Amino acid sequence: MNTALLLIIGIPLIEIYLFIKIGSQIGAFNTVLLILTTAVAGVAYARYEGFNTLKSGLSQLVKNEIPVYEIISGATLAFAALLLILPGFATDIIGILLIVPFTRKVILSKFINKNKKKYKSENNKNYIDGDYEDINDDNDKKI
C-alpha cells in the first residue's frame, strides 16, 4: 500500500482513537483545553528554538562556514510547529520530540546517517575515472 495513503488514513484514525480514550478519562472540555494548550505552548517554544537556530546559523556564516545543520534544524522546527498546530495527541508528541534540541539532534543524526550511506552507494556508480590531454596544433597559429 502506498505510504502517503497509509499516513492520510492512519494518522486521523490514531488521533480519533486517542481523543476518545483521553476524553473518556479527563473529560471533553479538558481534552479540548489540553489540545489548545499544547498548540499554543508548542508554537511559542518552536519560535524560541527557531530564533536560537537562526542565531547559531548567523554565527556559522560569520565564521565563513555553511550552516547545514542549522538549515535542516530550521526546517525540522517548522515541521514540528505544524504538527503542534494540528489537533491531536500523536502529532503533538512527535512535534515536541522534534522541538527539544537533544531529541532533534538524535533524530536528525539517524536520518542523515541513513541517507548518507544510501547517497554514497548510489553516487559511486556514476563516476568514470580518466585522464585527458590538451592538444595544440602549431599549424593553426601560423597564418
pLDDT in tens, 13-57: 999 999 999 999 999 999 999 999 988 988 898 889 889 888 988
Assess if residue 5 is contained within a domain: no
Has residue 120 been placed in a domain?
no
As a whole number of angstroms, the distance between CA 60 and CA 134 comes to 41
Q: Which domain holds residue 23?
A: 12-114
Q: Is residue 41 part of a domain?
A: yes
Domain count within the chain: 1
Classify residue 30: in a domain, yes or no: yes
Question: Does pLDDT of 120 surpass 90?
Answer: no
| pLDDT computed for residue 127 by the predictor | 62
Q: Sorting pLDDT into bands at 50, 70 and 90, what band is 112?
A: confident
Has residue 139 been placed in a domain? no
Candidate from 47-51, 85-89, 114-118 with smallest mean pLDDT: 114-118
Question: For 101, which DSSP code?
Answer: H
For 12-49, letters b (16+ CB in 10 Å) and e give eeebeebbeebeeeeeeeebeeebeebbeebbebbeeb
Is 132 contained in some domain?
no
What was the pLDDT predicted at 20? 93
109 lies in a domain? yes
Residue 98 located in a structural domain: yes
pLDDT value at position 130?
76
